[in-house]
Amino acid sequence: MAQAQKCRLVFMGTPDFAAVILKELAQWPRGEVVAVYTRPDKPAGRGHKLTPSPVKRVAQELDLPVLQPGSLKNVATQAELAALQPDVLVVAAYGLILPDAVLAAPRLVPLNVHASLLPRYRGAAPIQRAIMENWGPDAQSGISIMRVASRLDAGPVYADAALPIAEHTAGSLHDALARLGADLLIRVLDDLLDGRAEAREQDESCAGYAAKIGKEDGFIDWNRPAAQVHAHIRGVTPWPGARVIFTFAGEAEPLPLLLAPGRVGEPADGARPGELRHDADGLSVACADCWYRLLQVRPQGRKDMPVRDFINGRLRDLPEGICGRALPPV
């Protein structure tokens, strides 16, 4: 009996999230990755050395052909893709616009692995925004496998899977969703080949956009409830980092710091948002309702350190009680 022909796959992706998915896709026994598209190498580090993307590194480890066009709008580039005769195009955080000619290239379907429960959090920063904007105990993020459409993240969804946000940071949720996305993608591909795959249209009335994160998003507004502050700090960890500028009693100059996630403390009765309190357990910042206990900080040019080590090394004479305040971003 003749062996079934493998599904021809073209993968398009760039960052670590996509690299995790490519690794899993390359092991799918019913498919063959015939080419990997990723963004061109970029200068990085102090020496500005050209550095390959995480997807390119994985593709090279797996001996997969790599293509790195700067754009997919070129007719010759589109013809090169069509010549690969893909059955399925798999896209995960690629970073380039896909023209209609690219979407029409696969015989079966162009698929996208998106890190949200669509139609919520379409766009560039679904992981960070989901954490920053949801701080209740039942908050969820998730993965959607959708058909790529000309409108951003608006295509019909083949499958999705939820994941509790809990105490995740953007970094840890990113890793968990990449693994979930890889598993869900394989399930959808199996369904496609077996004729079971059905896609549902997204409800446009529930659609929302996750705007790209910038350094300015790292600054903390202490006028918010502590649970919201905690979610914001987790959502910008590890990048761009939770940024604060504190003035301390006895210190001539304000100190800029990066904060690791801490914990919500007791009610901050009588304290003004942004006030700093020093006690036997370390440092806390007053929010709109409660104190927010700091656990770890990173001074400029230094590594992360426990708050107690920071106090003992830099603020040995810091008085107990209200000892400073947070300054607004400049």
CA 85 to chain centre: 32
pLDDT of res. 45: 76
Cα separations in angstroms, 164 against 130, 142, 196: 11, 8, 28
Q: For the residues 26-45, what does the mean pLDDT come to?
A: 95
Pairing of strands 88-92, 7-13: parallel
Integer Cα distance of 277 and 291 in angstroms = 9
Task: Give the distance, in angstroms, between the CA of residue 223 and the centroid of all CA atoms in the same chain.
Answer: 26
Instruction: Answer whether residue 105 shows pLDDT above 70.
Output: yes
Neighbours of 264 (CB within 10 A): 17
Residue 47 has pLDDT above 80, yes or no: no
Is the per-residue pLDDT at 3 higher than 70? no
More confident residue, 95 or 8: 8
Tell me the average pLDDT across 75-93. Answer: 97
Q: Which two tokens stand for residue 139?
A: 């908050």
1 has a pLDDT exceeding 60: no
| The two three-digit tokens of residue 22, written as one number | 């490519």
The tens digit of pLDDT for each residue in 273-315 reads 999 999 999 999 999 999 999 999 999 989 999 999 999 998 9
Domains defined for the chain, CATH in brackets: 7-210 (3.40.50.170), 215-326 (3.10.25.10)
Q: Tell me the two tokens of residue 267.
A: 């009610």
The answer to whether residue 152 scores a pLDDT higher than 60 is yes
Read off the pLDDT of each residue in 193-216 and give the average, rounded to a whole number.
96
Q: Which residues of 160-191 are buried (b: 16+ CB within 10 A; e: fewer)?
A: beebebeebbbebbbebbbebbbebbbebbee
For the record, the structure tokens of 307 come out as 């708050």
Q: How confident is the model at residue 158 (pLDDT cuts 50, 70, 90)?
A: very high
pTM of the model: 0.95
